[in-house]
Structure formats: structure tokens, C-alpha cells
Amino acid sequence: MSKTAYQDVERRFAEIVDLSSGVEILSWDQEVMMPPGGAETRAQTMATLQGVIHERMTSPDLVSTVRTAQRGRAKLTPRQRRGLELVRRSVDKATCVPADLARELSLAQSRGLEAWRVARTNSDFGAFVPALETIVDLVRRKAQLRAGKNGALYDALLDDYEPGMTTERLDELLDELEAITVPLVRKVVQSDVRVDVRPFVGKFKIDAQRDFARQVSEAMGIRFDQGRLDLSTHPFCGGTGPGDVRMTSRYDENDMRGGLFGVIHESGHGLYEQGRDPNKRRTPLGGAISMGIHESQSRLWENNVARGKPFWEAWYDRFIDAHPKLRKFDVDAIWRAANIVEPSMIRVEADELTYNLHIILRTRIERDLISGEIDVTDLPARWNESMQSMLGITPADDAEGVLQDIHWAMGAIGYFPTYSLGNLYAAQFMEAARSSIRGLDRKIAKGDMLTLRTWLADNIHRHDQTFTAEKIVKRVTGKPLGTEAFARHIRKKVKAIYG
């Protein structure tokens, strides 16, 4: 009886997965392929489709079947119990948001994106204010419904991106991270060491950049019969999971770092998606554990692998073949150039060290925005003050300040901190990989990245959501998430380069 009820839950959930896969491809198309004239039609299509998903997620049939299945929990296998728990959480989240609000949110997001694009192009924050106010208002209403009477609003939002994380624990981690970072940044800024940036900054053919990046991506294990790599203004990794992964990037003739490390970053996400279990895809267990775990996979490849010296030992010759005028630089010079630390305006272009300050800044701002401590119109001033106090620089205009990121325009509030959580997870996973795989760095230096890919797939990717983030970190690293591994990693690197 209870088994039948769970099977019914799975069957209903599979159709929700199908529809969500449709949303994934339509979102990718919206960013990568859609002509501008398609925006309004797409907004309506997305809103209606999200509405159908919401309708199914909250349907009395599903709700009562979940309840029946829960009464028979005792007879379920542990995996089925985890599946049921995941469905129940999704159903609960959906049922406490009325269909009208869900639809309004979807429309506000599509429209927010368009308004943000225009505002960013003209560096005109004022033009974005009405759309963003609508979004913040709707997101806050959603959070209130989710959090209940006494719950913290920001916790309710965090839960969408990092299930199990609390604002309290997050604040502790970010405070520690700030305490690790600030003295290192001061040390670098005051250092006499000047790293030569010319291995990456100059004039480089886009084709050569793209071909090299694609070679690296393939060597990491990305399968292009199960995915694509395209261009977009805001690089991301989407798609429908194993079999169809959609990565994007952008290349700059004058600075290769964004293109190369961007492709490696998105390929890290892509490997997670391609490494997931195809047999779990249409089941409640299918999917990534959290955005933080997802980000750990991109960061691990970008920072812990491709900004390490072994990587450059392996790839030096092919890099020089792609850009022959770089022959005067040796492996060491290229590795140093890949790790230059310099406070800068744009998060996605920030170095590994200062990056987390950008995240801490955004997290604190959005937390205060949601609590009502500040208003949308306060954002530019608050942003610029924070940049000055944390990084010692002030944006010239809002385009390189508060308008630089797409997240708030998408209604993705609570998302930013997962980037720094990703950095923490990544350092901890990489330490575990090093102690599990004999001579991992020697392998990477010989061009073998597949051993690491396989280890990650076996230990993380193929489990999908079988384990919580907390559990997978303990399984893989033996400890809960902390800042120690990252502190060791970053201090060692900064010391090696800046003394």
C-alpha cells in the first residue's frame, strides 16, 4: 500500500521533472539564442509553464499521495525515504506560495531581466528601480509565506539555494572568511612584488582562445555529444542534466582570463551535471545537492586545479602553441599571472582572494534588503560604501557597481553566498582528493585530469541528492564544512607568490 503510494509520488514527480526540463532549455535559449523581439512572448510562456509546474506541485492529488506515502514510511527503503522527504519539501515550499504570487514572480523576473539589461547598458540604476522594487516585494512576500510567523526571512530564501544552511551559520562562516581574507589582501597591496600580467593581458586571437579552452574542457572530461558550449554575456551552465548540459562563456581579445577560467569554471559545473546518474534523472533523488556544492565543482577546477602550477606544467606547450608570442614566459610566470591578486570592481573578474569580499558585501546587502533595513533606492550608495571599506575602491558608475550582476534581476536573492560556500567546499574536497589519490598533483602535471574527474563523479556527482550537503561533506572529507582548508590553500598560494 505505502509502496504503491510512493510509486505514485514518483510517477507524478517525473512529469514535474519533464516540465522543469522544458523550463531549463527555454531559459538557456532566452539567454543564448532568443532575439530581443521574443522577450515578451517568452516571459508569458515561462510564467504559464512555471504556473503549470506550481499547479502540479500543489495539486491535492500529489499532496494527499505524499501524505499516504509518509504514513507508510516505515516500509520504504532509505533511498525512498530520502526521495519522499525531497518531494515533501518541494511540495511544502510550493503550497505555501499561492499560484498568483508564483505567476507574478515569474513575470517580474522575466521583465526584471529586460529592465536590468537596459539599465546596465546605460548605467542608469534609476531605470531598474521599479522592476527591482517589484521583485524585492514579491520575493519578500514569498519569504514571509515560507518562513511562517517567527522564521527569519533570509533563511527561507537561503533554503532555495543551500538547503540546510542557516543565516546564523552562514554569518559565522563569512565572518571567518573575511577575517582570513582581509589581512591577506592588505599584505598583497602593501607587498613590493609586482606580478607580470602579460601572459594573459595583451592582444590574443579569440579563435585561439576558444580552441584552447575547449581542449582543456575536453581533457577535464566534458563530453560534447552530451552538451554544448556557446557564447553569452553572462556565462553560466544550464541544461537538463546528464545527456544535455548547456555551458556558455565569453572571450575578451585583451584579457584571456575571463574566457579561459570561465570555460574551466563552467566545465566544472558541466562535469557535475554530466556525472549525475541518468537513472535518477526523472526521480525525486535526481538533481544537484545545493548551489554551494555545485559551485564547489566549478571552483575546484577553476582555482584549485587550473590556477595551480601542475596544471600549467601539463598545458604550457599547448598554451604557447595557441599564443606563440608568449614563448618568452615560463610555466612559473604564467602560473603567477593566473594568480594575480588585485582589488577590482567586477565580481566575475575578481581574483580568488578578493572574490569572497565581493560575495560578503552582496550577502550583507541583500540580507538587509530583505529584512527591510534598507530600500532598493539605497542600494547604489550602500554598494559603493561597502566597496570602499572592504576593497578600498569605488565604482565609477552603477554599471561597474550595483548593476553588474544579473541575480537580483532574476529574483535570485539568497543565491550569492553559495559562491563563497562553493570556495570553502572546494578547498575541503580538494584536500580530500589529494589524500585519496596518490600523487594527484603529479597526475595533473602530466595532463591526467580524468582521475580527479572520476573521483569527483564517484564520490559526489553520481549520488545526485541521495545525501544532504552536510552528509556528503562529512562522507567525503570526514569533517563538517569549515574555513580551515580554504585558509590553508589561500595562505599557501599568497605566500608563494607575494612572499
Can you give the binding site for its own copies, defined by CB under 8 A? 14-15, 18-19, 21-22, 25-26, 29, 33-42, 44-45, 47-49, 51-52, 223-228, 239-244, 281-282
Cell representation of residue 264 = 574551466
DSSP state of 252: B
Catalytic option among 10, 31, 162, 266: 266
Q: How far is the CB of 38 from its own copies (least distance, A)?
A: 3
DSSP letter for each residue of 63-115: HHHHHHHHHTGGGS-HHHHHHHHHHHHHHHHHHTS-HHHHHHHHHHHHHHHHH
Q: How far is the CB of 33 from its own copies (least distance, A)?
A: 7
| CA 272 – CA 182 distance, rounded (Å) | 31
C-beta closer to its own copies: residue 14 or 63? 14
Nearer to its own copies, 224 or 436 (CB): 224
Q: Which residue has the cell 601539463?
A: 314
The per-residue DSSP string of 273-313 comes to HHHS-GGGTTSTT-S-S-HHHHHHHHHIIIIIITTSHHHHH
All three cell numbers of 3: 509502496
- Between residues 49 and 127, which has the closer beta carbon with respect to its own copies? 49
For residue 257, give the C-alpha cell: 582570463
Longest dimension (CA), the chain: 72
User: What's the min distance (Å) between Cβ of 53 and its own copies?
Assistant: 10
108 Cα distance to chain centroid: 22
Q: Which residues pair with 228 in a beta bridge?
A: 246
Closest separation in Å from C-beta 432 to its own copies = 29
Dist. CA 258–CA 349, nearest whole Å = 6
Name the residue nearer to its own copies (CB basis): 35 or 60. Answer: 35
Q: Least distance to its own copies from the beta carbon of 241, Å?
A: 7
As measured in angstroms, the least distance from the Cβ of 439 to its own copies is: 32
Catalytic (active site) residue 176:
no
CB-nearer residue toward its own copies: 48 or 388: 48
State CA 226 to chain mean position distance: 20
413 closest CA partner among 357, 381, 371, 355:
371
How far is CA 92 from each of CA 10, 89, 140, 219, 351, rounded to the nearest angstrom?
Answer: 16, 5, 17, 42, 39
User: Minimal distance in Å, beta carbon 187 to its own copies?
Assistant: 46
* Region for residue 201 given its phi and psi (left: phi exceeds 0; alpha: psi -120 to 50; beta: otherwise): beta
Q: Which is nearer to its own copies, 230 or 448 (CB)?
A: 230
Q: Minimum CB separation from its own copies for residue 126, in Å?
A: 25
Please identify, using beta-carbon distances, which residue of 23 and 430 lies nearer to its own copies.
23
Q: Report whether 419 contacts 366 (CB < 8 A).
A: no
Residue closer to its own copies by CB (options 39, 346) is 39
| DSSP codes of every residue in 342-380 | ---S-GGG--TTTHHHHHHHHHHHHHHHHHTSS-GGGHH
Q: Point out the residues that are catalytic.
A: 266
